[in-house]
Structure 1
Amino acid sequence: MVASFSSCSSVPALVIVFSIYLSTFSLVEAGDNGGFSVDIIHRDSLLSPFYDPSVTHFERLQNALRRSMSRANSLKQFAISPFDVSSQVVSDNSGSYLMKMSFGTPPVERFAIADTGSNVIWIQCKPCERCYNQKVPLFDPNKSSTYRNLSCKSKECDLLDSKLRVCAPKTNDCEYNNYYGDGSSTRGFLATETFTLSSTSGKSVTLLEKIFGCGHNNQGTYDEGESGLVGLGGGSLSLISQLKSSIGGKFSYCLVPFEKENVTSKLNFGSEAVVSGDDVVSTPLVRKDPVTFYYVTLEAISVGNKRLPYKNSSKAVAEEGNIILDSGTTLTFIESNFYLNLESEVKKLIHGESFVDPPFLRLCYEPGTDVNVSVTFHFSGGADVKLKPLNTFFRNSKEAICFAIVPYPSVDDVGIFGNMAQMDFLVGHDLEKRKVYFKPADCSKH
């Protein structure tokens, strides 16, 4: 998801659930490199508050794949044409994780979509001009002793482009308008509030005077259990950026495979987010617009012993920042012409009749086929990330095992390294050193 603020009114990709309890952040604010970890829960897992036992595993997976395609289409629009920020925000409610957060004093718990491809934090608030249905009551800022609207003259309001904010008549409060690529939107007041998280150590973490949007006009195809969105992207209003100095610019996550439905994943901050060891590789983060995304450079993909240089048909070499690391997209998307070469090499190593599983899974085999092929992503800086079998093929239905890498429909798109490729890897971001780290891990034990 990409979040930004725009001057009009009216929001939604594959969702895994980040279970984070947001509280007041004495641990981080006091220093200590903000070292703490929180549980993150796959949206469709047995531990999710949205788990529906009447929906089969394959039905949940199909829903996730559809959200993934919708999200990828939105992300590519914004990554290719970031100049039109004021009129388009690419976020949508198909993000892969939810965070369980507490807002205000006294704290009120809410679930919100958490997304590394989005910048803004917002929840639905009273009074509501127009809101989507949610099970829990709307957040009432009048009942919180720590809520404060921000003035249009404040430095926090200045973080918004002038085209993306409105000054409220009479009060001169800072109003935001946030529109997303799928047609959903949120509008309300930019404010500060206390958030509370419950770390895996059992200690509460309090975040004081953090900037968020109190949404009074919100539209989109949201689940009624979702109260808003938490941006974890690179923009100045995201949770990561607001905590940057406290956590030393470090965060990491370890995502458990889909089939482990009763195990939580982890999101780590500060000293707890350091990725170290002999088997760690790192690649530079590339500075590009929009700053929301975490761009890296993919130089090649190897299948077995065959190394395929990664470039599209119009480039002689791989372009810097040609792929986004995104926890909110399930599949991995790559340039379409390159994909054809990759698919051809994969087919050579698999003994079986392949078929297409509409609408977008191009390389599938019957269950029981040996699809254990070696696939390695070669990122710049010598970061060779060898995928595990669970990262390359997945059981899409009772009749099909499918390749988890798919092509973009056009040749010049920035790729997406999705969450299925990142499962059972500890993936660390260091925004001060401008690096991303990868380490193979059993995320169910991490």
Structure 2
Amino acid sequence: MRCELLFPLFLLACVINGLPVVGAPPVLSMHFKLLRRHHRQRSPLQRVREIVRNDHARAKMISDRIGWQRSACVAGGSVPRTSSFAMPISSAAFTGTGQYFVRLKVGTPAQTFLLVADTGSDLTWMKCRYRACRGCGDAQWRRAFRADQSSSFSPIPCSSQLCKNSLPFSLAKCLAPTSPCEYDYGYTDGSTARGIFADEVATVALSGGQSAKLKGIVVGCTSSSAGSSFRSLDGVLGLGYSNTSFAARAASRFGGKFSYCLVDHLSPRNASDYLVFGKDTIHRPSKPDRRRYAELILNSWLEPFYAVRVGGVSVGAELLNISEAVWDSGAGGGVILDSGTSLAMLAEPAYRAVLAALSAPLARYPKVEAKPFEFCFKWDQSFDEAAVPRLVVHLVGPRGAAAPLRPPVKSYLIDVADGVKCIGILSASWPGVSTIGNILQQNHLWEFDIANRRVSFEPSSCSRSLH
């Protein structure tokens, strides 16, 4: 079954519709605001259960895709494959998905869409209406890309090498050489997205305050979608690692890197931050001793996911006894950073060790059942968060340097109801990949330096205004 789910240098050259076109070595950066939106009127436990269902579905997709690609590589088969700008980014807690949104302007003239910022997706797509698509888009869609109204919309032919060899989940059928390249995404929760690939233009905000046209963006024009994954969004911004993702195309023009800072899921409605491509001129420079660097593992069987090396996990001052194979992507394990997964998901051997170590000092509190979590307890005003042992994920940096990730306690001890807290970590299958989701990433500034194959991170409040 096809599965995908809802996280490289040019000058400003000419002008289209009064806007410069990004096209050669960089001089500026570009940015997108990361948008946070409130959840509907549901109880915290209902919202968390919806997040868990989505995370489990996504975990299966990740495991299936990496397993298939690893098998193909081992067998020798083929596998699909100092300027800046920024976008505002914020939590989509209101949808129950636990993801983050950005606004992207697509087409000529530009049309604006709210997309999930997903480092685990290699396709940027929007709900779309186009005369050549099968059907013309769901009439109930509140917003859809009007491809016929964009002079820069150019369908990618199904006979092209790009369609045949590089685009994710493209269909083999080709009725005529000039017919559009079609895709059909199937999701483990039963959701689907079908449409055609096209070459388009995105309008972005540069660090100097100007707007510019970013050409050569591969987008999906989704004419048919079904399932709960797509009810509250216009599409997906593909930030995954592949030759055709938005991240790869944008980073290649802006210094080979992008960064983001994820606000707390439950922060006030107006809290937001930015997704930045190129040199980050928005966030304050850090103290040198606060920033850590971890090695990015970028290879064909892990695409489009960003994997990191992990040396172990400690709780309190104790390094837990977990097999090294759990952290080794070459031995059936490995760890990825994924903005599209909410909760941390650890392969079963690591999950058991972490759960036991975290729950032991909390055993004095009355236990309660709050499925799907294994350890939940009642707490009152006497509860002291300082007594909760600190969880540390020991990432490994270039040349073996230590790069400990110390998430705040609220990122792994979560509130699911009034007076009830749970250890908010899920079990993943073994053999299989462990995932550092966006809740464990929140309140940190992350920079994905694709060009140098490393990721840096440091604590941050992740809430600011553009300047």
TM-score by length of 1: 0.82
Instruction: After TM superposition, list the pairs within 5 Å mapping 1:115-126 onto structure 2.
Output: 115-123=118-126, 124-126=128-130
* 1:212 to partner: Cα distance: 1.4
Q: Whole-Å Cα distance in 2 between the matches of residues 301 and 360 of structure 1?
A: 23
Counterpart contact for 1:132–1:224, Cα < 8 Å: no
Given residue 340 of structure 2, which amino acid in structure 1 is its aligned partner? G
Counterpart contact for 1:232–1:238, Cα < 8 Å: yes
- Pairing partner for 1:60 from 22, 25, 47: 47
Counterpart contact for 2:5–2:120, Cα < 8 Å: no
Counterpart contact for 2:98–2:265, Cα < 8 Å: no
Counterpart contact for 2:6–2:236, Cα < 8 Å: no
- Pairing partner for 1:189 from 178, 188, 196: 196
Counterpart contact for 1:132–1:220, Cα < 8 Å: no
- Pairing partner for 1:287 from 286, 289, 298: 298
SS at match of 1:349: helix
Given residue 370 of structure 1, which amino acid in structure 2 is its aligned partner? D
Q: Whole-Å Cα distance in 2 between the matches of residues 162 and 256 of structure 1?
A: 30
Q: Is 1:421 aligned to residue 440 of structure 2?
A: yes
Counterpart contact for 1:184–1:221, Cα < 8 Å: yes
Greater displacement, 261-270 / 292-301: 261-270
Counterpart contact for 1:177–1:188, Cα < 8 Å: yes
Residue 403 (structure 1) aligns with: 423
Q: Whole-Å Cα distance in 2 between the matches of residues 443 and 316 of structure 1?
A: 31
- CA change 1:202–1:160 in 2 (3 A) is same
Residue 278 (structure 1) aligns with: 289
- CA change 1:341–1:152 in 2 (3 A) is closer
Residue 361 (structure 1) aligns with: 373
Given residue 241 of structure 2, which amino acid in structure 1 is its aligned partner? G
Greater displacement, 191-200 / 140-149: 191-200
- CA change 1:57–1:75 in 2 (3 A) is same
SS at match of 1:32: coil
Residue 236 (structure 1) aligns with: 243
Q: Is 1:297 aligned to residue 309 of structure 2?
A: yes
SS at match of 1:68: helix
SS at match of 1:241: helix
Residue 394 (structure 2) aligns with: 378
Counterpart contact for 2:377–2:422, Cα < 8 Å: yes
- Pairing partner for 1:178 from 172, 178, 184: 184
Residue 103 (structure 1) aligns with: 106
- Pairing partner for 1:212 from 219, 222, 227: 219
- CA change 1:417–1:354 in 2 (3 A) is farther
Residue 85 (structure 2) aligns with: none
Counterpart contact for 2:63–2:433, Cα < 8 Å: yes
* 1:240 to partner: Cα distance: 0.7
Counterpart contact for 2:120–2:305, Cα < 8 Å: yes
- CA change 1:211–1:347 in 2 (3 A) is closer
Counterpart contact for 1:367–1:398, Cα < 8 Å: no
Q: Is 1:79 aligned to residue 66 of structure 2?
A: yes
Q: Whole-Å Cα distance in 2 between the matches of residues 184 and 317 of structure 1?
A: 31
Q: Whole-Å Cα distance in 1 between the matches of residues 45 and 130 of structure 2?
A: 38
Instruction: After TM superposition, list the pairs within 5 Å mapping 1:237-252 onto structure 2.
Output: 237-252=244-259
Q: Which runs of 5+ in 1 are unaligned?
A: 15-22, 46-50
* 1:170 to partner: Cα distance: 4.2
Q: Whole-Å Cα distance in 2 between the matches of residues 350 and 436 of structure 1?
A: 33
Q: Deviations for 1:232-277, whole angstroms, at most 9, x for unmatched residues?
A: 1001221011123212221111111122132013211101189853
Q: Deviations for 1:73-107, whole angstroms, at most 9, x for unmatched residues?
A: 32222233335889x99xxx957223322221111
Given residue 184 of structure 2, which amino acid in structure 1 is its aligned partner? N
Q: Whole-Å Cα distance in 1 between the matches of residues 256 and 161 of structure 2?
A: 21
Instruction: After TM superposition, list the pairs within 5 Å mapping 1:248-263 onto structure 2.
Output: 248-262=255-269, 263=271
- CA change 1:271–1:296 in 2 (3 A) is same
Q: Whole-Å Cα distance in 2 between the matches of residues 338 and 195 of structure 1?
A: 42
CA RMSD of aligned residues (A): 3.5
Counterpart contact for 1:194–1:207, Cα < 8 Å: yes
Counterpart contact for 1:300–1:377, Cα < 8 Å: yes
Q: Whole-Å Cα distance in 2 between the matches of residues 24 and 334 of structure 1?
A: 50
Counterpart contact for 2:335–2:434, Cα < 8 Å: yes
Q: Is 1:145 aligned to residue 151 of structure 2?
A: yes
* 1:147 to partner: Cα distance: 1.4
Q: Deviations for 1:189-216, whole angstroms, at most 9, x for unmatched residues?
A: 3211111234687543421232212233
Residue 462 (structure 2) aligns with: 443
Counterpart contact for 2:412–2:423, Cα < 8 Å: yes
Q: Is 1:129 aligned to residue 149 of structure 2?
A: no
Residue 411 (structure 2) aligns with: 391
Residue 36 (structure 1) aligns with: 30
Number of corresponding residues: 417
Q: Whole-Å Cα distance in 2 between the matches of residues 256 and 169 of structure 1?
A: 47
Q: Deviations for 1:368-420, whole angstroms, at most 9, x for unmatched residues?
A: 33343211110123111122122221111114211122222x32111000111
SS at match of 1:420: helix
Q: Whole-Å Cα distance in 1 between the matches of residues 212 and 42 of structure 2?
A: 35
Q: Percent identity of the aligned residues?
A: 23
- CA change 1:344–1:220 in 2 (3 A) is closer
Q: Which runs of 5+ in 2 are unaligned?
A: 8-16, 81-95
- CA change 1:356–1:58 in 2 (3 A) is closer
